[in-house]
Chain A
Amino acid sequence: DAKTTQPTSMDCAEGRAANLPCNHSTISGNEYVYWYRQIHSQGPQYIIHGLKNNETNEMASLIITEDRKSSTLILPHATLRDTAVYYCIVRVSERSYGQNFVFGPGTRLSVLP
């Protein structure tokens, strides 16, 4: 699986868009980009995933660059409840579960009032 690089921490003002970057310069053509988040003391929560096209759901938008070497998770109107650690994960969708999701240290997002 391609290695990902994320900033250690970020701040965002409540009501503003939060843009969380992720670099994955060694990504392969069949690897997807996944985002999960972990609110303090809870289990990780799936947010969104994509291959090459931009994706949007009720939680967030995922923007993947044309060369696929980086991506950005966008929370359009951040609230205090979005304060969490955000994990960017790159992996092949259909590979064996024995080589599972690798959750690195992630980005600690603090939404400030």
Chain B
Amino acid sequence: NAGVTQTPKFQVLKTGQSMTLQCAQDMNHEYMSWYRQDPGMGLRLIHYSVGAGITDQGEVPNGYNVSRSTTEDFPLRLLSAAPSQTSVYFCASSQGLGVEKLFFGSGTQLSVL
């Protein structure tokens, strides 16, 4: 059982470039979310989804877009990368509302030059 899979593991971008961080889960979880982790800041919620076709903003959504066309996939798009988006990104999923065990992916380390 693969759980939550994130790709790529590492990425270097130049300022202004765009890219998509991929996240897929094979547990049929309703809820998926994206966090970023910066030194000394803990994890901060970017966007989340409570089901296919439903997304909403978290604490730090600016500069990021998401979509949820299937239950399994929840990609995070950076339309015009900025150095402030240099961070480690984690995708997480859980079974549904009220079920609190979050499963996290292994992370994507992104550097924007």
Contacts and interface: CB of A to CB of B under 8 A. Distances in A.
Interface residues of A, number: 23
Interface stretch (A42-50, A58-66, A74-82): A42-50
A69 to B, nearest CB: 21
A97 B31 contact: yes
A34 B56 CA distance: 24
B107 A41 contact: yes
Contacts of A98: 48, 56, 58
A93 B43 contact: no
Interface residues on B, range: 20 to 34
B97 A43 contact: no
A106 B42 contact: yes
Given A100-B45, A102-B42, A43 B98 contact: no
B25 interface: no
Contacts of B103: 46
Interface of A: 32, 34, 36, 41-46, 49, 87, 93-94, 96-98, 100-106
